[in-house]
Chains A and B, each alone.
Chain A
Amino acid sequence: MKVSLFVTCLVDQLWTSIGVSSVEVLRGVGCEVEFDKRQTCCAQPAFNTGYREEARQVGRRFISIFEESKAEAIVSPSGSCTAMVHHYPELFADDPAWLERANAVAAKTHELSSFLIRVLKVENVGASWNGRLTWHDACHGLRDLNIKSEPRTLIRNVRGAEFVELEHADACCGFGGTFSVKYPEISVAILDQKIEAIERAGVQAVVSGDASCLMQIGGRLSRKGSKVRAMHLAELLASR
């Protein structure tokens, strides 16, 4: 299957190995991966902060670029950015022409783990990783896209990996986009609940599906001098 990768601005700028791993995983299961170099951001920062006009500008650009693609699916290593694309219809509710285009692009856009399981029906990507690890449910993947069993299935099939459930795996990590810098004290207080749960789990790595949560969790882990690694699902699935 031909897929178009939406790598997300965060991965593009701050965590490129997630993008590289995504390409490896998708190619590994037989996909032909294209990357449209005109892509930038999904518009979520503006949308979530309340700047709808700016969000619409950037959203229209996203739609224009990706609707040109001949690929059967647009795949992204982020539940949050994928959910944003699924919010586009809300953003263009009063604009019938763009609404239709928004709906068409949203219908084709999938988060990586749900694409593998739901669309490709692949449960084992042939990865191997030695150690004990756990999973953090990123909120938008979990609650906007209903992604819960998919990453767990994929992780359980990683050879050598011992998967343990995190206590309150579905609790927010406190990132929340601009929330993390508007109210950093609250953000970190929420984060510390997550960090404590990760520490109690006795794992070598905490895996999640969003670079944003991983920056939040990883940033606190490293500040605390923890040896636990924050790892994206794509990175785990690309491990051999």
Chain B
Amino acid sequence: MTSQTSETFRENAKAALADVHLRGALKHATSVFGERRKQAAAGLPNWEDLRTQARAIKDEVLLHLDRYLEEFVTNAESCGAKVHWARDAAAANSIICGLATERQARVVVKSKSMTTEETHLNDALEAAGMQVVETDLGEYIIQLAEETPSHIIAPAIHKTRGQIAELFTNELGMPPTDDIAQMTRTARLTLRDHFAAADVGISGVNFGVAETGTIVIVENEGNIRLTTSLPRMHIAVMGIEKVVPRFADLDIFLKLLPRSGTGQRLTTYQSFITGVKKQQSDEGPEELHIVLLDNGRSRMLAHPVTRQSLACIRCGACLNACPVYQQIGGHAYGSVYPGPIGAVITPQLMGIEKTSQLPYASSLCGACREVCPVKIDIPQLLLHLRSEIAPRKGGVAERLVFKVWARAMMSPTLYKLSSVAGRIVQRVTPISRAWTNGRDLRPIESKSFHDLWNE
């Protein structure tokens, strides 16, 4: 699974479509999430207003990101946090490995963080000789299975209960059972030991409040609470776009995020972390490091169309709503971020060279835009990226086809001729075969509507 790349998207997708377990798991999970989201949104009569407000706040932040980041840094540091700036993934990993090494850390516990998936932090920490333990149940499962997350908020969404039971039996010595309570207990007991032994806890960040320097992290399992409070050092990795101006803005985002993600009105835990503990008798870590990651984000910021990509709050609603994701799941995208938002941000983070198939992995149905809590126009972004990819990466034949097509559409005579040509093309080209493998092809009419109008 992990060897799949974005370059082999079509092959990955075909393999996914042939995997009955995967498709069963996906169908169940995406429809449950989708239905819950719908009900949760319907429970708030001002849902549309909240979306509009959230987007307005994000737009304001992104327009003045430099100012809000400075404010955030000043306030976070005045509460005792230390802020680090990382231009790219390598810089972030080197800062984090450096801090952990300084602490002589042997065991690092992590809570779920897509941003650290993006930087491949675990590999870097392991290369530096540390044991890294993912403590979110889904992340823990895929770490045991040596896989990568296939969903932004539900990393093991592709796995069935039976597959996980087998994994726990093989890896953790659990007596064979597929009782969920028993399986959870097994994971919990193992993880408790890791928490107790951990020298460093690493988390992501959902929101960073500029006004107070607070970082906000939401979760359901309590593992983030433990990760950020038990070890002596807490390192929080935060994309630079995660800042919000005021504490009061959280009122809007904390209504939108859980409802959009899991359909919950509230997540079980919401941690607001402002600096380090004030005196020895307080709880919490002695050191808090916040690593601010750019890694391509300022490139997205520069263009007025792509800027909205940074409004994303990583709820995953667009994945659940996407007909493509529903069929093939996350791994087929071959990228850290899958689904519609992944197809949009991956080429921007990594460049289009190896990711040029992703913006085409959409029927442009617009279901993603409809559910996005911050109203990102994902189809518009997909079209924008396609317009950058096609002239440079489109195949010679495809570029020629569109040149010829444009000529034909410009001239009534050529257009008329093209229907004759079309009848021939329909019979012979690979385009026809691509269609006719699964569907009957409607033959070109013997008389066009133009002909009929003349009569």
Contacts and interface: CB of A to CB of B under 8 A. Distances in A.
A37 B406 contact: no
Interface of B: 10, 13-14, 17, 323-324, 326-328, 360-367, 369-370, 380, 383, 385-391, 394, 398-399, 402-403, 405-406, 408-410, 412, 415, 419, 422, 431, 434-435, 437-445, 447-450, 452-454
A181 B435 contact: yes
A170 B371 CA distance: 13
A182 B438 contact: no
21 contacts: A9-B409, A15-B445, A37-B412, A45-B405, A47-B383, A50-B390, A54-B403, A57-B406, A143-B369, A176-B364, A179-B360, A179-B362, A185-B10, A185-B13, A185-B17, A186-B328, A187-B438, A188-B438, A189-B327, A219-B440, A219-B442
Contact of B410 (A49, A61, A179): A61
Contact of A190 (B363, B391, B447): B363
Contact of B387 (A9, A50, A176, A186): A50
Contacts of B408: 40
Given A35-B453, A184-B435, A185-B17, A13 B441 contact: no
Contacts of A116: none
Contact of B323 (A38, A171, A180): A171
Q: What bracket does the count of chain A residues touching chain B fall in? A: 35 or more
A15 B442 contact: yes
A37 B438 contact: no
Contacts of B385: 50
Contact of B448 (A12, A50, A175, A193): A12
B365 A143 contact: yes
Given A20-B452, A219-B442, A189 B17 contact: yes
Contact of A49 (B14, B390, B415): B390
B405 A20 contact: no
B440 A183 contact: no
Given A16-B449, A35-B453, A37-B450, A48 B438 contact: no
Given A61-B409, A179-B363, A190-B327, 15 more contacts: A7-B449, A12-B448, A16-B447, A38-B412, A40-B410, A50-B390, A51-B391, A143-B369, A170-B367, A177-B364, A181-B434, A185-B17, A190-B324, A191-B438, A219-B442
A46 interface: yes
A48 B383 CA distance: 6
A40 B360 CA distance: 25
Contacts of A175: 363
Contacts of A171: 323, 367
A183 B361 contact: yes
A26 to B, nearest CB: 13
Contact of A50 (B394, B409, B415): B394
Most buried by A among B361, B364, B391: B364
A51 B402 contact: yes
B452 A19 contact: yes
Contacts of B370: 143
Contact of A12 (B366, B380, B450): B450
Interface in A18-55: 19-20, 35, 37-38, 40-41, 43, 45-54
A37 to B, nearest CB: 6
Contacts of B452: 16, 19-20
A223 B13 CA distance: 23
A58 B386 contact: no
A52 B406 contact: no
A228 interface: no
Contacts of B387: 50-52
Most buried by A among B370, B441, B442, B454: B442
Contacts of B324: 186, 190
A219 B434 CA distance: 13
A148 B17 CA distance: 31
A54 to B, nearest CB: 4
Nearest to A219: B439
Contacts of A11: 449
Contacts of A174: 323, 363
A61 B56 CA distance: 37
